Structure 1
Amino acid sequence: MTKIEVNGAALAYDEAGSGSPVVLLHAGIADRRMWREQIDVLATRHRVIALDLRGYGESELPPTAFSHHDDVVGLLDGLGLARAALVGCSFGGAVALDTALAHPDRVSALALLGTAVSGHDWSDQTNDLWETLVGDVDPEDFVATAAGEVRFWVVGPERVPEQVDPELLAFATEMDERALAAELALSAVDVAELDPPAVGRLGELTMPVLVTAGALDVPDIRQLADHIAATAPQAHRLPDVPDAAHLLPLERPAPINSALLAFLP
Protein backbone atom coordinates (compact mmCIF):
# COMPACT_ATOMS: atom_id res chain seq x y z
CA MET A 1 0.00 0.00 0.00
CA THR A 2 1.20 3.48 -0.92
CA LYS A 3 -0.27 6.86 -0.08
CA ILE A 4 -0.24 9.98 -2.23
CA GLU A 5 -1.33 13.53 -1.44
CA VAL A 6 -4.27 14.42 -3.69
CA ASN A 7 -6.17 17.69 -3.33
CA GLY A 8 -5.28 17.92 0.36
CA ALA A 9 -5.97 14.29 1.27
CA ALA A 10 -3.69 11.27 1.56
CA LEU A 11 -5.20 8.60 -0.68
CA ALA A 12 -4.20 4.94 -0.44
CA TYR A 13 -3.57 2.75 -3.46
CA ASP A 14 -1.92 -0.47 -4.57
CA GLU A 15 0.18 -0.55 -7.73
CA ALA A 16 1.54 -3.35 -9.87
CA GLY A 17 2.89 -3.92 -13.36
CA SER A 18 3.98 -1.65 -16.16
CA GLY A 19 2.53 -0.53 -19.47
CA SER A 20 -0.55 1.54 -20.22
CA PRO A 21 -2.13 2.77 -16.97
CA VAL A 22 -5.39 1.42 -15.57
CA VAL A 23 -7.11 2.79 -12.46
CA LEU A 24 -9.51 0.48 -10.58
CA LEU A 25 -12.38 2.18 -8.71
CA HIS A 26 -14.24 0.15 -6.11
CA ALA A 27 -17.93 -0.21 -5.28
CA GLY A 28 -19.51 1.86 -2.54
CA ILE A 29 -19.98 -1.26 -0.41
CA ALA A 30 -16.30 -2.13 -0.72
CA ASP A 31 -12.77 -0.75 -0.97
CA ARG A 32 -9.75 -1.35 -3.17
CA ARG A 33 -9.43 -4.94 -1.88
CA MET A 34 -12.36 -5.96 -4.08
CA TRP A 35 -9.92 -6.00 -7.03
CA ARG A 36 -7.78 -8.77 -5.51
CA GLU A 37 -8.57 -11.10 -8.45
CA GLN A 38 -7.78 -8.49 -11.12
CA ILE A 39 -4.56 -6.73 -10.10
CA ASP A 40 -2.01 -9.45 -10.85
CA VAL A 41 -3.75 -10.53 -14.05
CA LEU A 42 -3.98 -7.01 -15.48
CA ALA A 43 -0.43 -6.22 -14.32
CA THR A 44 0.92 -8.65 -16.93
CA ARG A 45 0.13 -5.95 -19.52
CA HIS A 46 -0.68 -2.74 -17.65
CA ARG A 47 0.39 -0.40 -14.87
CA VAL A 48 -2.48 -1.12 -12.48
CA ILE A 49 -3.50 1.30 -9.72
CA ALA A 50 -6.24 0.20 -7.31
CA LEU A 51 -7.43 3.27 -5.40
CA ASP A 52 -9.28 3.70 -2.13
CA LEU A 53 -11.60 6.62 -2.84
CA ARG A 54 -11.44 9.44 -0.32
CA GLY A 55 -12.81 8.37 3.05
CA TYR A 56 -12.88 4.67 2.12
CA GLY A 57 -10.44 1.94 3.09
CA GLU A 58 -7.15 3.50 4.12
CA SER A 59 -7.68 6.88 2.43
CA GLU A 60 -8.09 10.00 4.55
CA LEU A 61 -11.11 12.29 4.77
CA PRO A 62 -10.13 15.86 5.68
CA PRO A 63 -13.16 18.07 6.47
CA THR A 64 -12.84 20.05 3.25
CA ALA A 65 -15.01 20.12 0.13
CA PHE A 66 -13.96 17.84 -2.71
CA SER A 67 -15.23 15.71 -5.58
CA HIS A 68 -14.34 12.08 -6.23
CA HIS A 69 -13.90 12.71 -9.96
CA ASP A 70 -11.42 15.52 -9.33
CA ASP A 71 -9.56 13.22 -6.93
CA VAL A 72 -9.12 10.67 -9.72
CA VAL A 73 -7.53 13.32 -11.93
CA GLY A 74 -5.44 14.50 -8.97
CA LEU A 75 -4.17 10.93 -8.63
CA LEU A 76 -3.18 10.91 -12.30
CA ASP A 77 -1.42 14.25 -11.85
CA GLY A 78 0.44 13.02 -8.79
CA LEU A 79 1.62 9.92 -10.62
CA GLY A 80 2.62 11.88 -13.73
CA LEU A 81 0.03 10.19 -15.94
CA ALA A 82 -1.49 12.14 -18.82
CA ARG A 83 -4.30 9.62 -19.33
CA ALA A 84 -5.52 6.31 -17.96
CA ALA A 85 -8.22 3.75 -18.55
CA LEU A 86 -10.74 3.64 -15.70
CA VAL A 87 -12.38 0.41 -14.52
CA GLY A 88 -15.26 0.93 -12.11
CA CYS A 89 -17.78 -1.26 -10.32
CA SER A 90 -21.04 0.17 -8.95
CA PHE A 91 -20.30 3.53 -7.28
CA GLY A 92 -16.77 3.31 -8.66
CA GLY A 93 -18.29 3.10 -12.13
CA ALA A 94 -20.28 6.26 -11.44
CA VAL A 95 -17.06 8.01 -10.37
CA ALA A 96 -15.37 6.76 -13.55
CA LEU A 97 -18.22 8.11 -15.68
CA ASP A 98 -18.16 11.47 -13.91
CA THR A 99 -14.40 11.68 -14.39
CA ALA A 100 -14.71 10.92 -18.11
CA LEU A 101 -17.34 13.62 -18.54
CA ALA A 102 -15.59 16.25 -16.43
CA HIS A 103 -12.08 15.50 -17.77
CA PRO A 104 -12.49 13.66 -21.10
CA ASP A 105 -8.90 14.29 -22.18
CA ARG A 106 -7.61 12.33 -19.18
CA VAL A 107 -9.55 9.09 -19.76
CA SER A 108 -8.50 6.69 -22.53
CA ALA A 109 -11.23 4.09 -21.98
CA LEU A 110 -14.00 3.13 -19.56
CA ALA A 111 -14.90 -0.35 -18.35
CA LEU A 112 -18.10 -0.28 -16.30
CA LEU A 113 -19.07 -3.37 -14.30
CA GLY A 114 -22.50 -3.32 -12.70
CA THR A 115 -22.23 0.45 -12.70
CA ALA A 116 -24.29 3.13 -11.06
CA VAL A 117 -24.79 6.45 -12.88
CA SER A 118 -24.93 9.83 -11.18
CA GLY A 119 -28.40 11.37 -11.39
CA HIS A 120 -30.20 8.04 -11.76
CA ASP A 121 -33.30 7.61 -9.60
CA TRP A 122 -33.89 4.06 -8.40
CA SER A 123 -37.05 2.51 -9.80
CA ASP A 124 -40.08 1.52 -7.73
CA GLN A 125 -39.24 -2.08 -8.59
CA THR A 126 -35.80 -1.82 -6.99
CA ASN A 127 -37.17 0.05 -3.96
CA ASP A 128 -39.82 -2.65 -3.53
CA LEU A 129 -37.15 -5.35 -3.75
CA TRP A 130 -35.24 -3.65 -0.94
CA GLU A 131 -38.35 -3.60 1.22
CA THR A 132 -39.01 -7.28 0.51
CA LEU A 133 -35.45 -8.53 1.01
CA VAL A 134 -34.17 -6.17 3.70
CA GLY A 135 -36.88 -3.91 5.10
CA ASP A 136 -36.15 -1.21 7.67
CA VAL A 137 -32.71 -1.16 9.25
CA ASP A 138 -31.12 1.38 11.56
CA PRO A 139 -28.53 3.20 9.39
CA GLU A 140 -26.32 3.69 12.45
CA ASP A 141 -26.23 -0.06 13.06
CA PHE A 142 -23.40 -0.94 10.70
CA VAL A 143 -23.65 -4.68 11.36
CA ALA A 144 -27.36 -4.87 10.53
CA THR A 145 -27.05 -2.49 7.59
CA ALA A 146 -24.11 -4.35 6.10
CA ALA A 147 -26.00 -7.63 6.45
CA GLY A 148 -28.93 -6.09 4.58
CA GLU A 149 -26.77 -4.57 1.85
CA VAL A 150 -24.87 -7.80 1.30
CA ARG A 151 -28.17 -9.68 1.09
CA PHE A 152 -29.47 -7.19 -1.46
CA TRP A 153 -26.39 -6.55 -3.58
CA VAL A 154 -24.03 -9.50 -3.20
CA VAL A 155 -26.57 -12.30 -2.93
CA GLY A 156 -29.08 -10.54 -5.17
CA PRO A 157 -32.84 -10.86 -5.49
CA GLU A 158 -32.81 -14.19 -7.32
CA ARG A 159 -30.74 -16.21 -4.83
CA VAL A 160 -30.64 -17.08 -1.16
CA PRO A 161 -27.42 -16.70 0.87
CA GLU A 162 -26.84 -20.45 0.97
CA GLN A 163 -26.26 -20.35 -2.80
CA VAL A 164 -23.29 -17.97 -2.49
CA ASP A 165 -19.70 -18.75 -1.47
CA PRO A 166 -19.56 -18.10 2.29
CA GLU A 167 -16.03 -16.66 2.05
CA LEU A 168 -17.28 -14.09 -0.48
CA LEU A 169 -20.16 -13.15 1.83
CA ALA A 170 -17.85 -12.79 4.82
CA PHE A 171 -15.35 -10.68 2.87
CA ALA A 172 -18.10 -8.49 1.40
CA THR A 173 -19.66 -8.01 4.83
CA GLU A 174 -16.33 -6.96 6.37
CA MET A 175 -15.70 -4.46 3.56
CA ASP A 176 -19.23 -3.10 3.74
CA GLU A 177 -19.15 -2.50 7.49
CA ARG A 178 -16.03 -0.40 6.93
CA ALA A 179 -17.59 1.36 3.94
CA LEU A 180 -20.68 2.29 5.96
CA ALA A 181 -18.47 4.05 8.49
CA ALA A 182 -16.86 5.90 5.58
CA GLU A 183 -20.24 6.94 4.20
CA LEU A 184 -21.34 8.26 7.58
CA ALA A 185 -18.20 10.39 7.76
CA LEU A 186 -18.66 11.52 4.15
CA SER A 187 -22.17 12.73 4.97
CA ALA A 188 -20.60 15.46 7.11
CA VAL A 189 -18.34 16.69 4.29
CA ASP A 190 -19.27 18.77 1.24
CA VAL A 191 -18.93 16.29 -1.65
CA ALA A 192 -19.41 18.07 -4.97
CA GLU A 193 -21.46 16.15 -7.54
CA LEU A 194 -21.09 16.37 -11.30
CA ASP A 195 -23.45 19.08 -12.56
CA PRO A 196 -25.33 18.24 -14.73
CA PRO A 197 -25.09 14.58 -13.69
CA ALA A 198 -23.99 11.78 -15.98
CA VAL A 199 -27.39 10.18 -16.56
CA GLY A 200 -28.36 12.79 -19.17
CA ARG A 201 -24.89 13.15 -20.70
CA LEU A 202 -23.84 9.66 -21.76
CA GLY A 203 -23.88 10.74 -25.39
CA GLU A 204 -20.96 13.06 -24.61
CA LEU A 205 -18.57 10.21 -23.86
CA THR A 206 -15.73 10.36 -26.37
CA MET A 207 -13.78 7.23 -25.43
CA PRO A 208 -14.41 3.48 -25.90
CA VAL A 209 -16.74 2.11 -23.24
CA LEU A 210 -17.18 -1.50 -22.17
CA VAL A 211 -20.24 -2.24 -20.07
CA THR A 212 -21.64 -5.35 -18.43
CA ALA A 213 -23.51 -6.44 -15.32
CA GLY A 214 -24.12 -9.53 -13.26
CA ALA A 215 -27.06 -11.57 -14.51
CA LEU A 216 -28.28 -11.86 -10.90
CA ASP A 217 -27.95 -8.16 -10.05
CA VAL A 218 -30.96 -5.95 -9.35
CA PRO A 219 -32.93 -4.93 -12.47
CA ASP A 220 -31.92 -1.25 -12.41
CA ILE A 221 -28.24 -2.10 -12.73
CA ARG A 222 -28.79 -4.30 -15.76
CA GLN A 223 -31.03 -1.66 -17.31
CA LEU A 224 -28.42 1.03 -16.75
CA ALA A 225 -25.91 -1.13 -18.61
CA ASP A 226 -28.36 -1.33 -21.53
CA HIS A 227 -28.89 2.44 -21.43
CA ILE A 228 -25.19 3.23 -21.46
CA ALA A 229 -24.62 0.83 -24.35
CA ALA A 230 -27.46 2.41 -26.33
CA THR A 231 -26.34 5.99 -25.66
CA ALA A 232 -22.56 6.23 -25.46
CA PRO A 233 -21.19 6.53 -29.02
CA GLN A 234 -18.37 3.98 -28.64
CA ALA A 235 -19.99 1.61 -26.16
CA HIS A 236 -19.90 -2.17 -26.34
CA ARG A 237 -22.35 -4.15 -24.23
CA LEU A 238 -21.14 -7.55 -23.11
CA PRO A 239 -23.80 -10.08 -22.13
CA ASP A 240 -24.64 -10.19 -18.44
CA VAL A 241 -22.20 -12.37 -16.53
CA PRO A 242 -23.92 -15.61 -15.43
CA ASP A 243 -24.01 -16.60 -11.76
CA ALA A 244 -22.94 -13.16 -10.55
CA ALA A 245 -24.64 -10.31 -8.76
CA HIS A 246 -23.27 -6.87 -7.91
CA LEU A 247 -19.62 -7.60 -7.05
CA LEU A 248 -19.01 -9.52 -10.25
CA PRO A 249 -15.22 -8.93 -10.40
CA LEU A 250 -14.93 -10.81 -7.09
CA GLU A 251 -17.57 -13.43 -7.77
CA ARG A 252 -16.69 -14.31 -11.38
CA PRO A 253 -13.15 -13.05 -11.99
CA ALA A 254 -12.33 -15.28 -14.98
CA PRO A 255 -14.79 -13.77 -17.50
CA ILE A 256 -14.18 -10.27 -16.14
CA ASN A 257 -10.41 -10.61 -16.46
CA SER A 258 -10.69 -11.97 -19.98
CA ALA A 259 -12.99 -9.13 -21.01
CA LEU A 260 -10.73 -6.49 -19.50
CA LEU A 261 -7.58 -7.89 -21.09
CA ALA A 262 -9.29 -7.91 -24.46
CA PHE A 263 -10.68 -4.37 -24.09
CA LEU A 264 -8.13 -2.21 -22.28
CA PRO A 265 -5.81 -0.23 -24.52
Structure 2
Amino acid sequence: MTKIEVNGATLAYDEAGTGSPVVLVHAGIADRRMWRAQLPALAARHRVIAVDLRGYGDSELPPAPFAHHDDLVGLLDALGVAQAALVGCSFGGKVAVDTALAYPERVSALALFGAPVSGTEWSEETEQLWDELVGEADPEDFAATAAGEVRFWVVGPTRRPEDVDPGLIRFAEEMDRRALAAELELSAIEVSELDPPAIDRLAELRVPVLVGTGADDVADLRRLADRIAAEAPRGVRLPDIPDAAHLLPLERPEPVNAALLDFLP
Protein backbone atom coordinates (compact mmCIF):
# COMPACT_ATOMS: atom_id res chain seq x y z
CA MET A 1 0.00 0.00 0.00
CA THR A 2 1.10 3.53 -0.84
CA LYS A 3 -0.49 6.82 0.23
CA ILE A 4 -0.52 10.10 -1.64
CA GLU A 5 -1.94 13.58 -1.11
CA VAL A 6 -4.83 14.37 -3.46
CA ASN A 7 -6.97 17.51 -3.23
CA GLY A 8 -6.23 17.89 0.48
CA ALA A 9 -6.89 14.25 1.35
CA THR A 10 -4.57 11.27 1.69
CA LEU A 11 -5.62 8.44 -0.61
CA ALA A 12 -4.37 4.88 -0.35
CA TYR A 13 -3.62 2.79 -3.41
CA ASP A 14 -1.81 -0.29 -4.66
CA GLU A 15 0.23 -0.19 -7.86
CA ALA A 16 1.83 -2.81 -10.07
CA GLY A 17 3.20 -3.17 -13.57
CA THR A 18 4.22 -0.81 -16.33
CA GLY A 19 2.56 0.21 -19.58
CA SER A 20 -0.64 2.08 -20.34
CA PRO A 21 -2.29 3.23 -17.09
CA VAL A 22 -5.41 1.58 -15.69
CA VAL A 23 -7.20 2.74 -12.53
CA LEU A 24 -9.45 0.27 -10.67
CA VAL A 25 -12.33 1.86 -8.73
CA HIS A 26 -14.07 -0.27 -6.12
CA ALA A 27 -17.74 -0.87 -5.32
CA GLY A 28 -19.49 1.08 -2.57
CA ILE A 29 -19.72 -2.04 -0.40
CA ALA A 30 -16.01 -2.74 -0.82
CA ASP A 31 -12.56 -1.19 -1.04
CA ARG A 32 -9.51 -1.61 -3.27
CA ARG A 33 -9.00 -5.18 -2.03
CA MET A 34 -11.85 -6.36 -4.25
CA TRP A 35 -9.41 -6.07 -7.19
CA ARG A 36 -6.96 -8.58 -5.73
CA ALA A 37 -7.25 -10.84 -8.79
CA GLN A 38 -7.12 -8.05 -11.38
CA LEU A 39 -4.04 -6.23 -10.12
CA PRO A 40 -1.52 -8.99 -10.92
CA ALA A 41 -3.30 -10.14 -14.06
CA LEU A 42 -3.43 -6.70 -15.68
CA ALA A 43 0.05 -5.72 -14.49
CA ALA A 44 1.56 -7.96 -17.15
CA ARG A 45 0.66 -5.26 -19.72
CA HIS A 46 -0.40 -2.17 -17.80
CA ARG A 47 0.47 0.21 -15.00
CA VAL A 48 -2.38 -0.75 -12.68
CA ILE A 49 -3.55 1.45 -9.80
CA ALA A 50 -6.22 0.21 -7.38
CA VAL A 51 -7.36 3.14 -5.25
CA ASP A 52 -9.47 3.53 -2.12
CA LEU A 53 -11.91 6.35 -2.71
CA ARG A 54 -11.88 9.13 -0.14
CA GLY A 55 -13.20 7.84 3.18
CA TYR A 56 -13.08 4.18 2.16
CA GLY A 57 -10.51 1.55 3.06
CA ASP A 58 -7.26 3.19 4.09
CA SER A 59 -8.01 6.60 2.56
CA GLU A 60 -8.73 9.63 4.73
CA LEU A 61 -11.85 11.81 4.90
CA PRO A 62 -11.07 15.43 5.77
CA PRO A 63 -14.23 17.39 6.67
CA ALA A 64 -14.30 19.46 3.48
CA PRO A 65 -16.54 19.38 0.38
CA PHE A 66 -15.24 17.28 -2.51
CA ALA A 67 -16.24 15.18 -5.51
CA HIS A 68 -15.05 11.64 -6.13
CA HIS A 69 -14.54 12.34 -9.83
CA ASP A 70 -12.33 15.32 -8.97
CA ASP A 71 -10.31 13.05 -6.70
CA LEU A 72 -9.73 10.52 -9.47
CA VAL A 73 -8.30 13.19 -11.73
CA GLY A 74 -6.30 14.57 -8.80
CA LEU A 75 -4.85 11.09 -8.35
CA LEU A 76 -3.83 11.00 -12.01
CA ASP A 77 -2.19 14.39 -11.59
CA ALA A 78 -0.33 13.32 -8.47
CA LEU A 79 0.96 10.18 -10.18
CA GLY A 80 1.98 11.98 -13.37
CA VAL A 81 -0.62 10.18 -15.51
CA ALA A 82 -1.97 12.20 -18.43
CA GLN A 83 -4.69 9.71 -19.39
CA ALA A 84 -5.90 6.38 -18.03
CA ALA A 85 -8.47 3.69 -18.60
CA LEU A 86 -10.94 3.49 -15.73
CA VAL A 87 -12.35 0.16 -14.55
CA GLY A 88 -15.23 0.48 -12.09
CA CYS A 89 -17.52 -1.91 -10.27
CA SER A 90 -20.88 -0.74 -8.92
CA PHE A 91 -20.42 2.69 -7.29
CA GLY A 92 -16.90 2.74 -8.68
CA GLY A 93 -18.41 2.50 -12.15
CA LYS A 94 -20.61 5.49 -11.40
CA VAL A 95 -17.53 7.47 -10.35
CA ALA A 96 -15.67 6.33 -13.47
CA VAL A 97 -18.49 7.48 -15.79
CA ASP A 98 -18.76 10.83 -13.99
CA THR A 99 -15.00 11.28 -14.39
CA ALA A 100 -15.16 10.51 -18.11
CA LEU A 101 -17.93 13.10 -18.57
CA ALA A 102 -16.32 15.78 -16.39
CA TYR A 103 -12.78 15.25 -17.72
CA PRO A 104 -13.10 13.52 -21.12
CA GLU A 105 -9.50 14.26 -22.11
CA ARG A 106 -8.18 12.30 -19.11
CA VAL A 107 -9.96 8.99 -19.80
CA SER A 108 -8.91 6.58 -22.57
CA ALA A 109 -11.52 3.84 -21.98
CA LEU A 110 -14.17 2.69 -19.52
CA ALA A 111 -14.90 -0.82 -18.28
CA LEU A 112 -17.99 -1.04 -16.09
CA PHE A 113 -19.23 -4.01 -14.05
CA GLY A 114 -22.63 -3.89 -12.35
CA ALA A 115 -22.47 -0.12 -12.58
CA PRO A 116 -25.25 2.38 -11.98
CA VAL A 117 -24.71 5.90 -13.28
CA SER A 118 -25.49 9.21 -11.61
CA GLY A 119 -29.18 9.96 -11.92
CA THR A 120 -30.21 6.30 -11.93
CA GLU A 121 -33.62 5.63 -10.39
CA TRP A 122 -34.34 2.19 -8.95
CA SER A 123 -37.49 0.33 -9.97
CA GLU A 124 -40.25 -0.52 -7.51
CA GLU A 125 -39.24 -4.17 -8.00
CA THR A 126 -35.72 -3.45 -6.74
CA GLU A 127 -36.97 -1.30 -3.86
CA GLN A 128 -39.26 -4.12 -2.73
CA LEU A 129 -36.47 -6.66 -3.07
CA TRP A 130 -34.22 -4.44 -0.92
CA ASP A 131 -36.90 -4.29 1.77
CA GLU A 132 -37.26 -8.07 1.70
CA LEU A 133 -33.58 -8.96 1.79
CA VAL A 134 -32.06 -6.09 3.77
CA GLY A 135 -35.04 -4.83 5.72
CA GLU A 136 -34.93 -2.15 8.36
CA ALA A 137 -31.52 -2.89 9.82
CA ASP A 138 -30.18 -0.35 12.30
CA PRO A 139 -27.90 1.83 10.15
CA GLU A 140 -25.37 1.90 12.98
CA ASP A 141 -25.40 -1.90 13.39
CA PHE A 142 -22.75 -2.42 10.75
CA ALA A 143 -22.61 -6.20 11.13
CA ALA A 144 -26.35 -6.68 10.59
CA THR A 145 -26.53 -4.16 7.77
CA ALA A 146 -23.50 -5.65 6.05
CA ALA A 147 -25.02 -9.12 6.24
CA GLY A 148 -28.21 -7.81 4.62
CA GLU A 149 -26.39 -5.86 1.93
CA VAL A 150 -24.16 -8.81 1.06
CA ARG A 151 -27.28 -10.99 0.83
CA PHE A 152 -28.77 -8.48 -1.62
CA TRP A 153 -25.69 -7.66 -3.70
CA VAL A 154 -23.18 -10.51 -3.43
CA VAL A 155 -25.54 -13.47 -3.18
CA GLY A 156 -28.10 -11.75 -5.37
CA PRO A 157 -31.85 -12.11 -5.74
CA THR A 158 -31.78 -15.37 -7.69
CA ARG A 159 -29.44 -17.40 -5.47
CA ARG A 160 -29.38 -18.67 -1.91
CA PRO A 161 -26.45 -18.01 0.46
CA GLU A 162 -25.53 -21.69 0.40
CA ASP A 163 -25.02 -21.38 -3.38
CA VAL A 164 -22.13 -18.94 -2.85
CA ASP A 165 -18.59 -19.50 -1.62
CA PRO A 166 -18.72 -18.82 2.15
CA GLY A 167 -15.24 -17.28 1.98
CA LEU A 168 -16.52 -14.73 -0.53
CA ILE A 169 -19.44 -13.89 1.75
CA ARG A 170 -17.17 -13.43 4.78
CA PHE A 171 -14.73 -11.23 2.86
CA ALA A 172 -17.55 -9.14 1.37
CA GLU A 173 -19.14 -8.64 4.79
CA GLU A 174 -15.80 -7.55 6.27
CA MET A 175 -15.27 -5.02 3.48
CA ASP A 176 -18.86 -3.79 3.75
CA ARG A 177 -18.63 -3.20 7.49
CA ARG A 178 -15.74 -0.81 6.81
CA ALA A 179 -17.62 0.77 3.90
CA LEU A 180 -20.69 1.37 6.06
CA ALA A 181 -18.56 3.18 8.61
CA ALA A 182 -17.16 5.29 5.76
CA GLU A 183 -20.61 6.08 4.42
CA LEU A 184 -21.81 7.18 7.86
CA GLU A 185 -18.96 9.69 7.99
CA LEU A 186 -19.51 10.71 4.36
CA SER A 187 -23.14 11.54 5.16
CA ALA A 188 -21.91 14.47 7.26
CA ILE A 189 -19.78 15.95 4.46
CA GLU A 190 -20.81 17.73 1.28
CA VAL A 191 -20.06 15.36 -1.61
CA SER A 192 -20.64 17.07 -4.96
CA GLU A 193 -22.43 15.16 -7.70
CA LEU A 194 -22.04 15.53 -11.45
CA ASP A 195 -24.46 18.14 -12.80
CA PRO A 196 -26.23 17.35 -15.01
CA PRO A 197 -26.04 13.67 -14.09
CA ALA A 198 -24.81 10.94 -16.40
CA ILE A 199 -28.05 9.06 -17.04
CA ASP A 200 -29.07 11.29 -19.96
CA ARG A 201 -25.52 11.95 -21.17
CA LEU A 202 -24.38 8.47 -22.15
CA ALA A 203 -24.05 9.53 -25.79
CA GLU A 204 -21.29 11.92 -24.68
CA LEU A 205 -19.04 8.98 -23.77
CA ARG A 206 -16.76 9.02 -26.81
CA VAL A 207 -14.23 6.47 -25.53
CA PRO A 208 -14.57 2.70 -25.84
CA VAL A 209 -16.95 1.45 -23.13
CA LEU A 210 -17.12 -2.19 -22.02
CA VAL A 211 -20.18 -3.07 -19.93
CA GLY A 212 -20.74 -6.32 -18.03
CA THR A 213 -22.90 -7.78 -15.28
CA GLY A 214 -23.29 -11.02 -13.44
CA ALA A 215 -26.28 -13.09 -14.47
CA ASP A 216 -27.43 -13.11 -10.83
CA ASP A 217 -27.18 -9.35 -10.30
CA VAL A 218 -30.35 -7.28 -9.85
CA ALA A 219 -32.41 -6.85 -13.01
CA ASP A 220 -32.19 -3.03 -12.93
CA LEU A 221 -28.42 -3.16 -13.38
CA ARG A 222 -28.60 -5.69 -16.19
CA ARG A 223 -31.10 -3.48 -18.01
CA LEU A 224 -28.95 -0.42 -17.36
CA ALA A 225 -25.92 -2.23 -18.78
CA ASP A 226 -27.90 -2.79 -21.97
CA ARG A 227 -28.75 0.92 -22.09
CA ILE A 228 -25.17 2.10 -21.50
CA ALA A 229 -23.85 -0.17 -24.24
CA ALA A 230 -26.59 0.96 -26.64
CA GLU A 231 -26.25 4.71 -26.02
CA ALA A 232 -22.48 5.05 -25.68
CA PRO A 233 -21.26 5.41 -29.28
CA ARG A 234 -18.46 2.87 -28.76
CA GLY A 235 -20.23 0.71 -26.20
CA VAL A 236 -19.78 -3.06 -26.07
CA ARG A 237 -22.02 -5.31 -23.95
CA LEU A 238 -20.43 -8.45 -22.54
CA PRO A 239 -22.78 -11.41 -22.22
CA ASP A 240 -23.91 -11.81 -18.62
CA ILE A 241 -21.45 -14.00 -16.74
CA PRO A 242 -23.24 -16.98 -15.15
CA ASP A 243 -23.13 -17.83 -11.45
CA ALA A 244 -22.07 -14.33 -10.42
CA ALA A 245 -23.80 -11.33 -8.91
CA HIS A 246 -22.74 -7.78 -8.11
CA LEU A 247 -19.05 -8.12 -7.20
CA LEU A 248 -18.34 -9.75 -10.54
CA PRO A 249 -14.56 -9.07 -10.72
CA LEU A 250 -14.10 -10.61 -7.28
CA GLU A 251 -16.38 -13.59 -7.75
CA ARG A 252 -15.47 -14.52 -11.34
CA PRO A 253 -12.00 -13.09 -11.98
CA GLU A 254 -11.04 -15.36 -14.88
CA PRO A 255 -13.64 -14.19 -17.44
CA VAL A 256 -13.36 -10.61 -16.19
CA ASN A 257 -9.58 -10.58 -16.55
CA ALA A 258 -9.80 -12.12 -20.00
CA ALA A 259 -12.33 -9.51 -21.10
CA LEU A 260 -10.24 -6.67 -19.69
CA LEU A 261 -7.01 -7.86 -21.28
CA ASP A 262 -8.79 -8.09 -24.62
CA PHE A 263 -10.42 -4.66 -24.24
CA LEU A 264 -7.96 -2.31 -22.56
CA PRO A 265 -5.79 -0.14 -24.80
TM-score by length of structure 2 reads 0.99
Q: How does 1:215-234 map to 2 (within 5 A)?
A: 215-234=215-234
Task: Provide the secondary structure at the position in 1 that maps to 2:50.
Answer: strand
Deviates more, 1:15-24 or 1:123-132: 123-132
Residue identity in the other structure for 1:3: K
Q: How does 1:10-49 map to 2 (within 5 A)?
A: 10-49=10-49
What is the letter of the counterpart of residue 237 of structure 2?
A: R
Aligned pairs for 1:198-213 (under 5 A) are 198-213=198-213
Partner Cα separation in structure 2 for residue 25 and residue 184 of structure 1: 20
Q: Distance in 2 between matches of 1:15 and 1:83?
A: 16
> For 1:120-176, what per-residue CA distance to the aligned partner results, in whole angstroms no more than 9, with x for missing partners?
011101011112222211111111100000000000000110110000000000000
Counterpart secondary structure, 2:86: strand
Higher mean alpha-carbon deviation, 7-16 vs 134-143, is at: 134-143
1:55 is aligned to 55
* Fraction of identical pairs, as percent: 74
Aligned to 1:159: 159
Give the ranges of 4+ consecutive aligned residues of structure 1 lying more than 4 Å apart after TM superposition.
none
Given residue 82 of structure 1, which amino acid in structure 2 is its aligned partner? Answer: A
Shift of 1:35: 0.1
Corresponding residue for residue 263 of structure 1: 263
What amino acid is the match of 2:100? A
C-alpha distance after superposition, 1:32-78 (max 9, x if no partner): 00000110000000000000000000000000010000000000000
Q: Equivalent residue of 1:190, what SS?
A: coil
Which residue identity lines up with residue 37 of structure 1 in the other structure?
A: A
| CA distance, structure 2, for counterparts of residue 135 and residue 186 of structure 1 | 22
Structure 2 Cα separation of the partners of residues 240 and 86 of structure 1 = 20
Structure 2 residue identity aligned to 1:25: V
The one-letter amino acid paired with 1:157 is P
Q: Does 1:131 align with 2:131?
A: yes
Residue type of the partner of 2:211? Answer: V
Amino acid at match of 1:173: E
Q: Is 116-125 or 24-33 further displaced after alignment?
A: 116-125
Which runs of 5 or more residues in structure 1 are unaligned? none
**How many residue pairs align between the two structures?**
265
Q: How does 1:245-260 map to 2 (within 5 A)?
A: 245-260=245-260
- Which residue in 2 is equivalent to 1:170? 170
1-structure distance, mates of 2:56, 2:131 = 27
Distance in 1 separating the partners of 2:184 and 2:194: 21
C-alpha separation in 2, matches of 1:165 and 1:206: 38
* CA distance in structure 2 between the aligned counterparts of 1:31 and 1:129, rounded to whole angstroms: 25
Aligned-residue Cα RMSD (Å) equals 0.5
How many Å separate the matches in 1 of 2:9 and 2:130?
A: 34
Counterpart residue identity of residue 109, structure 1? A
Amino acid at match of 2:185: A
2:105 partner SS = helix
State the secondary structure of the residue aligned to 1:13. strand
Q: Deviations over 1:157-207 (max 9, x none)?
A: 001101100000000000000000000000011100000011111010110
What's the counterpart of residue 187 of structure 2?
187
2:94 alignment counterpart: 94
Following superposition, the deviation at residue 116 of structure 1 comes to 1.3
Answer with 171-180 or 133-142: which moved more: 133-142
1:218 shift after superposition: 0.5
The one-letter code sitting in structure 1 at the alignment partner of 2:109 is: A
2-structure distance, mates of 1:179, 1:123:
24
